[in-house]
Amino acid sequence: MKAVVYTGHGGPEVIRVQEMPAPELGPSDVLVRVRAVALNHLDLWIRRGLPRLKLTFPHIAGADVAGVVERVGSAVASVHEGQEVIIAPGISCGVCAACLAGEDNMCAQYSILGEHRHGGLAEYVAVPEANVLPKPARLTFEEAASVPLVFLTAWNMLVTNARVGFDDTVLVWGAGSGVGSAGLQIAKAFGARVIAVAGAGWKLQRSRELGADEGINHREQNVLDEIRTLTNKRGVDVVFDHVGTATWDTSLRALARGGRLVTCGATSGAEATTDIRYIYGRKLSILGSWMGTKRDLHHALRLVEQGRLRPVVHAVLPLEQTARAQEILERSEHFGKVVLRVE
Ligand SMILES: [Zn+2]
């Protein structure tokens, strides 16, 4: 089969389009003919290399897949050939205490499609039956591929961890990113007031179209000053952070008493200084999210099916242009998801 592989760790030069063996199908697995794959920052981290990540090259990345069931293993009962599906990107053992409690992202065996195993940047991908969900009928394949990773992560951050509600003001960093555009909509769906932060006026305009109540341009405005003005000096109840070094200090200082900082990533760097007095003096909570549970995804999908949450697709490129697509992500030229079409 045709696949996009990394030949080693490094820059865009390690990306190749080449033939790879089609995945083997276990009795509980489903073989999906890939139609669309959405990119994530995770694909870039995997390409560049991560501590403790040991890959065998050539490696196929790609966590967010929509496609059509090509074949099912002998023990598979819940899906059938020809069905249009999306794939939940977190793969776990299914039988440990964490999995059985519905906390599959706490499983010791947890892995992400395209990280510890071959992913979806190919004509075919094989995953366990538990990871295959019906594609929402209202969505195209490109839109459907844009849902799983960012919506399950943003749902875990805001709903499961931060318990966002109508009484909250939520600051969303990087509102133009995939996870930011999902978080913004989820916070609005729960009735919160949303302050979107982005680095360009057109991104703030798009954020408002998605429901953001306020917008701050971090390249032109002082984020903390703006938040104080917008909240009558009170601060926000929830900060939605995935940026890391560049935002951490402002995130903590932006919080009102009893506020919650929820983080799922550190795209700008992982080191930061924390003034501990803020944490106890203002009774703050710092919450970490790593992906989300399958329940989080099922819940988010219900609102996607109702049209109350919608994936935002910035651009669709052919699979062969994966390097260009990753460049869009690296340069933050996007609002929403960058998707590769597989034909
Ligand atoms: Zn498990």
Has residue 261 got a pLDDT over 90? yes
Question: Residue 73 Cα, ligand 1 centroid: separation in angstroms?
Answer: 21
Question: Residue 149 Cα, ligand 1 centroid: separation in angstroms?
Answer: 19
pLDDT for 19 equals 98
Question: Residue 108 Cα, ligand 1 centroid: separation in angstroms?
Answer: 6
Question: Residue written as tokens 């139609």?
Answer: 35
CB atoms within 10 A of CB 275: 10
Q: pLDDT band for 51, please (50, 70, 90 cuts).
A: confident
pLDDT average, residue stretch 317-343: 96
Has residue 98 got a pLDDT over 90? yes
Question: Residue written as tokens 């008493």?
Answer: 257
Has residue 308 got a pLDDT over 90? yes
pLDDT average, residue stretch 99-113: 97
Question: Residue written as tokens 């793969």?
Answer: 91
Beta-strand ranges (E) seen in the chain are 2-6, 15-19, 29-38, 64-72, 84-87, 90-91, 111-112, 124-128, 132-134, 169-172, 193-198, 214-217, 236-241, 255-263, 285-288, 313-318, 337-341
Q: pLDDT above 90 covers what percent of the chain?
A: 98
Has residue 283 got a pLDDT over 90? yes
Question: Residue 98 Cα, ligand 1 centroid: separation in angstroms?
Answer: 6
Q: pLDDT band for 236, please (50, 70, 90 cuts).
A: very high
Question: Residue 100 Cα, ligand 1 centroid: separation in angstroms?
Answer: 7
Question: Residue 220 Cα, ligand 1 centroid: separation in angstroms?
Answer: 46
| Calpha distance 277→283 (Å, rounded) | 9
Closest Cα to residue 326, out of 13, 22, 3, 117?
13
Question: Residue 94 Cα, ligand 1 centroid: separation in angstroms?
Answer: 5
Question: Residue 129 Cα, ligand 1 centroid: separation in angstroms?
Answer: 15
Residues flanking ion ligand 1, Cβ below 5 Å: 92-93, 96, 99, 107
β-partners of residue 59 are 6
Question: Residue 299 Cα, ligand 1 centroid: separation in angstroms?
Answer: 20
Token digits for 248? Answer: 């951490």
Q: pLDDT above 70 covers what percent of the chain?
A: 100
Question: Residue 292 Cα, ligand 1 centroid: separation in angstroms?
Answer: 14
| Calpha distance 336→185 (Å, rounded) | 12
Has residue 264 got a pLDDT over 90? yes
Q: What is the DSSP string of 74-100?
A: TT--S--TT-EEEE-SEE--SSSHHHH
pLDDT average, residue stretch 277-297: 97
Has residue 324 got a pLDDT over 90? yes
pLDDT for 52 equals 85
Question: Residue 213 Cα, ligand 1 centroid: separation in angstroms?
Answer: 40
pLDDT average, residue stretch 255-269: 96
Q: pLDDT band for 168, please (50, 70, 90 cuts).
A: very high
Domains, the chain, in order of start with CATH, read 2-147+311-341 (3.90.180.10), 151-288 (3.90.180.10)
Has residue 129 got a pLDDT over 90? yes
| Calpha distance 42→48 (Å, rounded) | 10
Question: Residue 260 Cα, ligand 1 centroid: separation in angstroms?
Answer: 28
pLDDT average, residue stretch 288-308: 97
CB atoms within 10 A of CB 334: 20
Q: pLDDT band for 66, please (50, 70, 90 cuts).
A: very high
pLDDT average, residue stretch 325-334: 94
Question: Residue 92 Cα, ligand 1 centroid: separation in angstroms?
Answer: 5
Q: pLDDT band for 193, please (50, 70, 90 cuts).
A: very high
pLDDT average, residue stretch 107-131: 97
pLDDT average, residue stretch 107-123: 96
Has residue 165 got a pLDDT over 90? yes
Q: pLDDT band for 23, please (50, 70, 90 cuts).
A: very high
What's the mean per-residue pLDDT of the chain? 97
Rounded to 10 deg, the angle between the 294-305 and 148-155 helix axes is 110
pLDDT average, residue stretch 146-175: 98
Closest Cα to residue 328, out of 36, 39, 37?
39
Question: Residue 151 Cα, ligand 1 centroid: separation in angstroms?
Answer: 22
